Amino acid sequence: MNKNLFTLPSSLIAVVLALLGVAPHAHADHDALFQDYPAKVEATTALAREYMKTHPGQGSDSLRRNVIAGLSDGSVAPARVLTPARKRKLSAREVFELCRPSSLVVCRFEHNDAYALDSAYSNASAVALTPDGICATNYHVVADLVLSGALGHEVKNDLMRFLMDHEGNIYPFRQVLHVDPINDMAIIRVDTNGRKLTPASIGTDVPQGTTVYCLSHPTGAYYHFTDGMVSNCTRSTNKRTGRDKYILEITSDYGVGASGGPIFDDCGNLVAIVSSTFSLYAQPQQYRNFQMAYKQTVPVFLIRECFTD
Amino acid sequence: MKKELLATAVALALGFGVNAQEQKKQPDAGAQQANEMVNKMKEEAAVYYAGADTADYGVRYRLRYLCNKKKNIRFEEDRVVLINPDVTLDMSYQGIGETRWRMANPKGQGGDRSLAYHLTPDFYFYYPSSGRMVRTYRIVSEEFLLDDAKCENNWKITDEEKKIGEYNCRKATLDRGGRQWAAWFTTDLPHWGAPRTFAGLPGVVLEVADADREVCWMFNGLVNSIPDSKLYIKMPEKFAQASPEEFRKILRVFSLSDNSYVQQSGVMNKNSSHYPEKYSPSTGIDACEIDNPIER
């Protein structure tokens, strides 16, 4: 496979920038720290377009057609493929540096009829679990793919889904391996095209009071890093269906776009993925007098259970 | 400046005037829209059910099922068996019940409180003359063929009798699927009929239960065809292609997915002009965690 399909070579970027008359700016020394992630997301449109050209028939429709055949009820891979938990405590800064490569942006590549244009945009988050392309996100991020694919429906203008890493490389969705609609969790496989993802080390259950960090991509704020603690661990059984739902509540801040993003402990181990927020109002009928928002995440043991020998 | 202010005031006044007029019109527009929707659904139903069999009558049951023994969860659903001399159909009663409640309560809020509001879109067609039993399942607008085989139940008819409602019934027993079943059937009603796959008795079954009373269908009255809510018996004309393994996975994702996901996925809009009813299975038995299967 052509490695350059996923990132434009820096020389080419330089030529393009020169042609556009964009000269290196005055604060270039600070660019390593102050990242222009929206530009990276914007650049994925060209990469996605190129991928579609070189991999015809491997877009969203193909994913839909094979979605049911690819789903597994049991183990998606042996437990040994997961990275064991780290034991050394890290500073917040170290956690960020260590974990940033594992946090991925979920993007959609769509055709817009009105502008007769194909373009990519980000809409959620994910985390790498294995170097060869197994990742976790939320069920609600892939639910439309799974449900429409299950009934053999094609969706106009949905060209491709892919993940983007912090360097702007893209990893197209290949397969949905497992879904847990009750707990809002999905395991997917992406095409790494010979690259290796940086998998998160997999932690264990974390009790209330444990320090946690969220490294996700709320709308317009890529690689947003927040700290907090585990505020609650709850289990509820639906009285009608008998099915159990597990929620790990945290105080780290996140919002729309963070769905599926990783939550790490202070050793840099994955302990949960973002799921949803629940807003508490004093007058809930009128959505008035907002008081607090519960941040609800999917505990990591549900992911770990998908990997058995 | 004064002119601008005056123009703004006039524009605002006109704007409020228009809004007020729109508000006055709104109730009529809403009613008209609702009528249009009802008429569209009737047209769709007429197309979908063109040439379909109709039942002479239906028998309503309340299904009570201890589906999860460990968590003590009992599932309840309103079912109906539609009966004519040639074919019977066991299906959920919720669609018919809702339609009839809306007809009786055109301005009513909510719904029929007597309904369990649990809907499993499985269908059991039975042809008494041949003993053929066809099982189908509808997921949103797609029909799946699950089984098409002869139904052979080795019923033992006893001398035990009792009355259910105004009907004289006789008891019959059956060993099947790891349970001891007892059915009460009557010959006071015309033709043959039974819930699920309990066919084969010479009459209409009004009650079936296993010996432990963990699964039972209790008689809940008769239903007649009426002009605006006919009791159609329609075998789907085509089925989605899926192996049993694929169907099991499809059923799982739809049963466990929240209705909002199903709606957002766009699958509810597909074939909207061909199906008068769209069912989501997630309110039925398949959404439940079952540790006590009906067929053990």
Which helix (H) or strand (E) covers residue A275, if one does? strand A269-283
Q: Do A242 and B67 touch (CB under 8 A)?
A: yes
Considering the domain architecture, whether residues A96 and A140 belong to the same structural domain is answered as: yes
- The ipTM of this complex is 0.87
pLDDT of res. A1: 39
The answer to whether B59 faces chain A, any CB pair under 8 Å, is no
Residue-level pLDDT at B22: 44
Contact A181 B261 (CB under 8 A): yes
What does the pLDDT read at residue A19? 56
Closest residue in A to B262 (Cα–Cα): A147
Tell me the H-state helices in chain B: 2-48, 94-104, 244-256, 259-264
CA A185 to each of CA A146, A180, B144, B255: distance values in angstroms, whole numbers, following the listed order: 13, 5, 27, 16
Alpha-carbon span A225 to A230, nearest angstrom = 16
Helix (H, G, I), strand (E, B) or coil at A300: coil
Distance, CA of A55 to CA of A193 (rounded, Å): 11
Residues A237 and A182 in one domain: no
Q: Let me know if residue A66 belongs to a domain.
A: yes
CA angle, residues A152, A153, A154, in degrees to nearest 5? 120
Tokens encoding B56: 């002479």
Predicted pLDDT of residue B5: 46
Assign A69 to helix, strand or coil.
Answer: helix
Residue A105's nearest CA partner among A124, A91, A82 is A124
- Give the residues across from A1 on adjacent strands: none
CB B256 within 8 Å of CB A181: yes
In-domain check, residue A260: yes
Q: What six digits make up the tokens of A7?
A: 């990132």
Residues A131 and A226 both lie in one domain: no
* Positive/negative CA dihedral, A34, A39, A44, A50: negative
Q: For the segment B205-214, what is each residue's pLDDT rounded down to a tens digit?
A: 999 999 999 9
The answer to whether residues A43 and A185 belong to one domain is yes
Residue B82 distance to chain A (closest CA, Å): 27
Partner-chain contact B253 A239, CB within 8 Å? no
Instruction: Give yes or no: residues A59 and A132 share one domain.
Output: yes
User: Searching chain A, which residue's CA lies closest to the CA of residue B268?
Assistant: A148
User: Would the CB atoms of B257 and A153 count as touching at under 8 Å?
Assistant: no
Segment holding A60, helix H or strand E: helix A60-65
- CB contact (8 A) between residue A243 and residue B289: yes
Q: What's the gap in Å between the CA of A218 and the closest CA on chain B?
A: 21
Please check whether residue B76 touches A, CB under 8 A: no
> Domain locations in chain B?
1-48, 54-287
Q: Are residues A111 and A229 in the same domain?
A: no
- Coil, helix or strand at residue B229: strand
What are residue B59's DSSP bridge partners?
A: B81, B222
Q: Answer yes or no: do B256 and A243 touch at CB < 8 A.
A: yes
Question: Mean pLDDT in each 10-residue stretch from start to end of chain B (296 residues)?
Answer: 47 43 54 73 80 95 97 96 97 89 85 89 96 94 94 96 97 96 98 97 98 97 91 93 95 92 81 55 86 94
Task: Dihedral sign for Cα B162, B167, B171, B173, please.
Answer: negative
Residue A29: predicted pLDDT: 82
Q: Is A249 in the same domain as A107? A: no
Is A147–B265 a contact, with Cβ atoms under 8 angstroms apart?
yes
- List helix spans (H) across B49-167: 94-104
- By CB neighbour count within 10 A (0-12 exposed, 13-18 middle, 19+ buried), where does B224 fall? exposed
| B266 and chain A in contact, CB less than 8 A | yes
In a domain, A195, yes or no: no
Do A279 and A181 have their domain in common? no
**Residues in chain B within 8 Å Cβ distance of A142:** none
Q: What is the DSSP letter of A245?
A: E
Interchain contact, A148 vs B71, CB within 8 Å: no
**What H or E segment, with its residue span, contains residue A86?**
none
Task: Quote the CA–CA distance of B233 and A39 in Å, as a whole number.
Answer: 59
List chain A pLDDT tens, one digit each, 309 residues. 344 434 445 555 555 555 555 555 678 788 888 989 999 999 999 999 999 999 998 899 999 999 999 999 889 999 999 999 999 999 999 999 999 999 999 999 999 999 999 999 999 999 999 999 999 999 999 999 999 999 998 898 999 999 999 999 999 999 999 999 999 999 999 999 999 999 999 999 999 999 999 999 999 899 999 999 999 999 999 999 999 999 999 999 999 999 999 999 999 999 999 999 999 999 999 999 999 999 999 999 999 999 998
By Cβ distance, the residue of B73, B139, B242 closest to A242 is B73
- Chain A CB contacts of B67 below 8 Å: 242
Q: Which is nearest to B58 in space by CA: B177, B175, B194?
A: B194
What backbone phi and psi angles, to 5 degrees, belong to B138?
-110, 125
Separation of CA B247 from chain center: 20
Q: Is B254 on the interface with A (CB under 8 A)?
A: yes
Cα separation, A125 vs A260, whole angstroms = 5
Q: Are residues A46 and A179 in the same domain?
A: yes
Using CA coordinates, name the residue in chain A closest to B239. Answer: A151
Say if the Cβ atoms of A148 and B261 lie within 8 Å: no
Nearest CA in chain A to B257: A181
Q: What local confidence, expressed as pLDDT, does residue B42 receive?
A: 76
Contact across the interface for A241 and B288, Cβ inside 8 Å: yes
Last residue of a domain, one of A163, A190, A217: A190
Residue B30 pLDDT: 67
Is A197 inside any structural domain? no
Closest Cα partner for A168 from A1, A2, A5, A15?
A: A5
Cβ-Cβ contacts under 8 Å for A161 (sequence gap 6 or more): A60, A63, A106, A107, A108, A109, A142, A145, A172, A173
Confidence (pLDDT) at B280:
55
Does A211 lie in the same domain as A84? no
Q: Which residue stretches of A137-286 are H helix?
A: 139-150
Residue in B249, B264, B289 closest to A68 by CB: B249
What pLDDT score was predicted for residue A165? Answer: 97
Element housing A40 (H / E): helix A37-54
User: Which of A133, A165, A190 is the C-terminal boundary of a domain?
Assistant: A190
Q: How long, in residues, is chain B?
A: 296
- The beta-carbon neighbor of A151 closest among B140, B249, B289 is B140
Boundaries of domain holding A156: 3-10+35-190
pLDDT of residue B12: 45
Residues A214 and A176 occupy one common structural domain: no
How far apart are alpha carbons B91 and B113 in whole angstroms? 20
Q: Which residue of B74, B267, B270 to mutate against A (max A Cβ within 10 Å)?
A: B267
Mutation for A interface: B74, B118, B256, B262, most A CBs within 10 A: B256
Are A241 and B289 within 8 A, CB to CB?
A: yes
- What pLDDT was estimated at residue B98? 85
Contacts of B259 in chain A (CB under 8 A): none
Of A161, A190, A219, which residue constitutes the final position of a domain? A190
Q: What are the chain A neighbours of B287 within 8 Å (beta carbons)?
A: 240-241, 243
Q: Tell me how far the alpha carbon of residue A56 is from its chain's centroid.
A: 25
Within-domain flag for A17: no
What's the token pair of residue B1?
Answer: 């400046």
Q: Answer for the pair B231, B49: CB distance below 8 angstroms, yes or no.
A: no
Question: For the stretch A147-181, what's the b/e string if a residue is b when 16 or more beta carbons lie within 10 angstroms of its beta carbon?
Answer: bbbbbbbebeebbbbbbbbbebbbbbbbbbbbbbb
- Residues A222, A169 within the same domain: no
State the pLDDT at residue B219.
Answer: 98
pLDDT of residue A10: 52
B169 touches chain A (CB under 8 A): no
Which chain B positions have a beta carbon within 8 Å of A240's beta carbon? 73, 75, 118, 287-288
Total domains in the fold of chain A = 2
A105, A122 in Cβ contact below 8 A?
yes
Q: How far apart are CA B126 and CA B138, in angstroms?
A: 17
CB B67 within 8 A of CB B73: yes
Q: Are A188 and A141 in contact (CB under 8 A)?
A: no
Nearest to B256 among A144, A152, A182 (CB): A182
Distance of alpha carbon A307 from alpha carbon A72, whole angstroms: 11
CATH of residue A292: 2.40.10.10
Residue B262 in contact with partner chain A when CB distance is under 8 A: yes
